[in-house]
Amino acid sequence: MTATIRSICCIGAGYVGGPTMAVIADRCPQIQVTVVDLNAERIAAWNDADLSRLPVYEPGLDAVVGRCRGRNLHFSTAVEAAIAAADMVFLSVNTPTKTRGVGAGQASDLRWIEASARQVAACAQNHTIVVEKSTLPVRTAATIQAILGASRDKSFSVLSNPEFLAEGTAIQDLEHPDRVLIGGEDPAAIDALAAIYSQWVPAERILRTNLWSSELSKLTANCFLAERISSINSIAAVCEATGADVQEVARAIGADSRIGAKFLKAGPGFGGSCFQKDVLNLVYLCGHYGLHEVAAYWQRVVDLNAWQQHRIAQLVVQRLFGTVTAKRIAVLGFAFKADTNDTREAPAIRICRDLLEEGAQLAIHDPKVSEAQIAADLGRDGVGSWQRVESPIAAAEGADAVLILTEWQQYAELDWPALAAVMRQPAWLFDARAIADAPRARAAGLQVWRVGRG
């Protein structure tokens, strides 16, 4: 018989935990959902009466939270009490790449997963279903099982239920998922989780696998997506060298139904919390199993991504007569993609650092990223300097170049005559997202470089 879940606890109120639990609460009014986090400031922001101040910016999230918060969606720092009250606990904590020790630079740091699993082991009552939500290296569930198994008087079932949402479209992705993946060994636990999703997801989209297939599928999906971006970015460089246009090439190859049209936009390289981390995780896993050729194959996906970012910084310097020392450059966009305030692994970080190293003065605009976040990412050291400004026109004031790094819709609608009028001539537009109205920029007197256009 399928256990009926009445109370869910989610550990980790981040980009994954917050939106995912909001949608579950919205679709399952009969379930009490409590999202807990050690970070009191983050929880306070989730509880802010002003819904525009939620700690995660996602289109549509404010409406969902507004409907459910206080009804059956709660945000709290009382981790232990929430675990004790729950029939099902989601682990949605951060799993960044290790910066030191064994596997540094490749393996995921599992300290937060381990700590939260220990908390569950200590506080759970009765039988508890524990669901891995964070992207994890393959066989992490074994670690979680081992930790939970050590508390003899309690029983647990561990499931892997990876999240495939993309930031910026999280609510849409959660409400209409291509598939929901549930990996596990305990059919009753799998049924209990499937019953939650079946409130709004068609049954044929709920896939059941063993634990390890589920964990590996999540890594593999992200690796394939990342590889596609490195592939199209490599072709962008060939286009620039040969006079082809990567947008035309992408359209032509995307029309082949075996290739498909999505995820073929050349740009400044992929960012975000997942792609690089997950590819490096696979590289580490392959190395561990002695599959060195496979590891090297995937490593190149990350290498090409870094190369693309350095390449863009270098070509800005070259076009500006080989030096940007003390030159003002307007950087438009700092988030790793549009419609998010997230800057983790954002291409802007590496590109800005390269330009700062060359002595540039950067005027950075982003509609959603705060000055404090930019400061955390760039620091204040280095040869050049940066400031955050409130508008694209303020960024362009006195600048030699505008460099577009995030595809915010407002950058497609820039008033080029107005920008050109306040820039220092000769002025450049470097469009790393191919989003600006290049003909208008050219008509306003700017020289234009666009990614992937020869």
223 interacts with ligand UDX by CB under 6 A: no
Q: Please pick, from the candidates 270, 386, 428, 449, the single residue that binds ligand UDX as defined by CB under 6 A.
A: 270
Smaller CB separation from ligand UDX, 100 or 262: 262
- Residue 223 among the catalytic residues: no
Using CB distances below 5 to 8 A depending on partner kind, what does residue 13 bind out of ligand ADP, ligand UDX, none?
ligand ADP
Residue span binding ligand UDX (CB under 6 A) among the ranges 104-112, 160-168, 297-305, 388-396: 160-168
Q: Strand pairing of 180-184 and 155-160?
A: antiparallel
- Residue 274 among the catalytic residues: yes
Helices (H), 17-76: 17-27, 40-46, 61-68
Tokens describing residue 284: 């580490």
Residue tagged 């040869």 (tokens) = 383
Q: Please pick, from the candidates 200, 263, 297, 307, the single residue that binds ligand UDX as defined by CB under 6 A.
A: 263
**DSSP type of residue 385:** E
Using CB distances below 5 to 8 A depending on partner kind, what does residue 229 bind out of ligand ADP, ligand UDX, none?
ligand UDX
Using CB distances below 5 to 8 A depending on partner kind, what does residue 291 bind out of ligand UDX, ligand ADP, none?
none
**DSSP type of residue 245:** B
Residues 6+ apart with CB under 8 A from 8: 21, 24, 31, 32, 33, 34, 86, 87, 88, 89, 90
181 interacts with ligand UDX by CB under 6 A: no
Count how many Cα atoms sit within 13 Å of the Cα of residue 414 in the half-sphere of its side chain.
32
356 interacts with ligand UDX by CB under 6 A: no
Binding positions for ligand ADP, rule: CB under 6 A:
11-17, 36-39, 42, 79, 92-94, 112, 115-116, 119, 134, 273
Tokens describing residue 48: 């802010």
Smaller CB separation from ligand UDX, 156 or 408: 408
Q: Distance between CA 291 and CA 288 in Å, rounded? A: 8
- Residue 277 among the catalytic residues: no
Give which of 88, 199, 102 is closest to 133, Cα–Cα: 88
Using CB distances below 5 to 8 A depending on partner kind, what does residue 212 bind out of ligand UDX, ligand ADP, none?
none
Strand partners, 155: 127
**DSSP type of residue 227:** H
Find the shortest distance in angstroms from Cβ 113 to ligand ADP: 8
Residues 6+ apart with CB under 8 A from 297: none
Using CB distances below 5 to 8 A depending on partner kind, what does residue 42 bind out of ligand UDX, ligand ADP, none?
ligand ADP
Find the shortest distance in angstroms from Cβ 11 to ligand ADP: 5
Residues 326-355 that bind ligand UDX (CB under 6 A): 336-337
Residue span binding ligand UDX (CB under 6 A) among the ranges 118-126, 150-158, 161-169, 354-362: 161-169
Q: Distance between CA 349 and CA 378 in Å, rounded? A: 7
3-state secondary structure at position 268: coil
12 interacts with ligand UDX by CB under 6 A: no
Question: What type of residue is 83?
Answer: I
Residues 6+ apart with CB under 8 A from 437: 412, 413, 414, 416
Find the shortest distance in angstroms from Cβ 448 to ligand ADP: 36
Residues contributing to the site for ligand UDX (CB under 6 A): 163-167, 222, 225, 229, 263-265, 267, 270-272, 274-275, 336-337
Residues serving a catalytic function are 163, 218, 274
